[in-house]
């Protein structure tokens, strides 16, 4: 199987909703983020992708971890994700290849989610929010 390596953001609002995006010509909603450029540190990728996709600078608050899941849009690919908890400096707005953006509740059962979001991010958010409230 081929591997895609990305940096991905967990972005929560004050209502404990998760920011997700859907890229053009795709179905699944996923974290803001993207592929690492050659010799680019994941933290730099994260900041670049957030600026490109939702038009905001950001502060990386925490490295969550390194995870492997199925890729949402590329069959027969493994997604290797560097996952970060991120705080945006301003309100997000759709930009670049983003077709749709929305804040979801963690118990959302209507939205089609990428494997990383469903298998890793939402369980992590539930655990994280149970410890900070």
pTM higher than the cut 0.85 = yes
Q: Which ranges of the chain have pLDDT less than 50? A: none
pLDDT of amino acid 75: 86
pLDDT of amino acid 133: 64
Q: Domain span at residue 31?
A: 2-132
Q: What is the CATH number of the domain that holds 94?
A: 3.90.79.10
Q: Are 52 and 96 in contact (CB under 8 A)?
A: yes
Number of domains in the chain: 1
Write the DSSP string, 7-45. EEEE-B-TT-PEEEEEETT---BB-SEEEPPTT--HHHH
pLDDT of amino acid 132: 82
């Amino acid at each position: 199987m081929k591997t895609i390596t990305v940096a991905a953001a967990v972005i929560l609002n004050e209502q404990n909703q998760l920011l997700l995006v859907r890229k053009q010509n795709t179905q699944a909603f996923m974290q803001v983020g993207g592929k690492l450029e050659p010799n680019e540190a994941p933290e730099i990728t994260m900041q670049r992708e957030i600026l490109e996709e939702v038009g905001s600078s950001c502060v990386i608050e925490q490295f969550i971890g390194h995870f492997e899941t199925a890729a949402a849009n590329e069959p027969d690919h493994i997604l290797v994700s560097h996952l970060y908890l991120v705080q945006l400096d301003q309100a997000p707005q759709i930009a670049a290849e983003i077709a749709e953006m929305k804040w979801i509740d963690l118990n959302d059962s209507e939205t089609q989610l990428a494997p990383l979001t469903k298998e890793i991010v939402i369980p992590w958010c539930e655990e994280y929010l149970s410890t900070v409230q």
